[in-house]
Structure 1
């Protein structure tokens, strides 16, 4: 019998286990992951950015935890010798029509307590000499890191502290009773006093296994990236972002220096018909059925049809993708980019067609379910773990194992 079991071997799941262990060091704890390794999906396939929190509504969990998480992530990397770089980024207004939205973003950065600086065109060019813009914002606290390495370090720490790590273990059913949760898995039955669901792309399905029913469903969006050829990497020094379209839920195509020095461009955001589908033609009948029979998806699609079609065109037409990059860096040509990895974002969507805009945690009888943790979840992961650890029962009387 475990005191706590965490489902999910991404950065949020392992950060949660890390925080629970810190709070209750004598608890018997396990992490269950269906893949054979850690950070196999969202964590290991994102842009590697340590976000500042400038985009998020003041007072929201995203805004609060991104800012705190940025600091704690950098501190964790420093304490564990994980390569990272707080290099800052620029957000660029490419023409006069974007000034108003950029000014709104600047004010939001100030409201969120960030170090943000307005840049003239001259100031912008001093930071990114090849960028196209009438003015910009410098966000000093933005950085880069390899989140897969962070996750692997968390796993290493937990393993050395006696936490049971159970990769290659798929949860097939959950029964919650008054005093325990019983998990049927591909490797036998697991009993625990309390369960924490951090299953990412499958978090809604794991919640339903535990008879947690809401009007929320995970809809997967694939993000595709290109990489600048090495001889063109000088066109981008660090990170270049556009002013986001306030009517569209994604940030838009941007340029990011990775820890290995390569420059990645993207992502676009297109519906995926497979929750772990990283190819353009990836398809899973169950995943597709879940999306296409969900009325919330059709309501969302109808209100975002114009931008959604643009994303779809960019997915299949490299020239269109490159045009979106040229708005930021005009010197980039079609022959300067090559395809690289793709990722899939787990976006929670409500039955009324509204995207769940903030982190979303649902309580069960003997469980907690993290059912929406999109970007900046990797940045905020250590802080999300602290929040969840603060919500789980102490189980004090049953934890004396000295």
Structure 2
């Protein structure tokens, strides 16, 4: 048996960091490591395969009353398990991993940065910056764009950086027709569907879609086809989002299909005609890669990270509703003439650049490096 590894996230819920917390632990276990996944708080459900233990230290959402008890239970667990490496998947998780290092100086902390520096709160930023400069064995960024966002941090912090892109495997892309996938969501077979999937949260900028729908209504006066935004996900902005749609009489332009997991996720991407991601910021953009497996055209906010992941295969917008509508109308015309076939094949080919095995190779190399450093010390 190789080294004992713990992966740690702050929240157990649907999300890229949370899913990768379990994925990395399970894939390392397949390579002979004694690995387990840990979560400080339970914020929702997440589909797992039970290949490795999943430890949740508080079955409620984080609050001022349960933060310290949850951290304490994790530290007690570590004292018993005696991990040699802890991999953090959220800023607070990175910090908590270092707190355990105060009890066991031999443990190596591999931090990860999954969002740009601006996404951290001021208090967390100050602690994480200090801990990262002094106690991380390495600091894994999920994209070069994330790495660049820390350019004003101390050099001691930046010296720990390494970029390991997220990986995605296991999507069943050999599905039946779009008609079959649309039946899962009761979607009309004749509509042109623009897919949005993610948390309905400020970061994902879902309210921008209302502006696009308004512009689409104005520019599609001849009603050549019904354009519908298919919204998958839940979040704290959902009530405001729905109310805004209702107030602007745009209900016919939106179809909410709820939070998706399991087989419904590939059916979502198979059902839509184009994908839209108006996020204000992203660390990597997992849904971009998920969509690329299905070859759907992509309308993306013009960010360093969306260009890094999508390459030259996206339609990039500075959050201009009229540009988005012009793109949607052009894509509809191309879909009618079959001009999207070559573009779709190129998009599918790029998806293969982001594999889970390549990602796990990167994590394993970091584990091997810190193990060598410990043995030399």
Instruction: Normalising by structure 1, report the TM-score.
Output: 0.32
Larger RCO (alpha carbons 8 Å, 6+ apart) = 1
Instruction: Normalising by structure 2, report the TM-score.
Output: 0.33
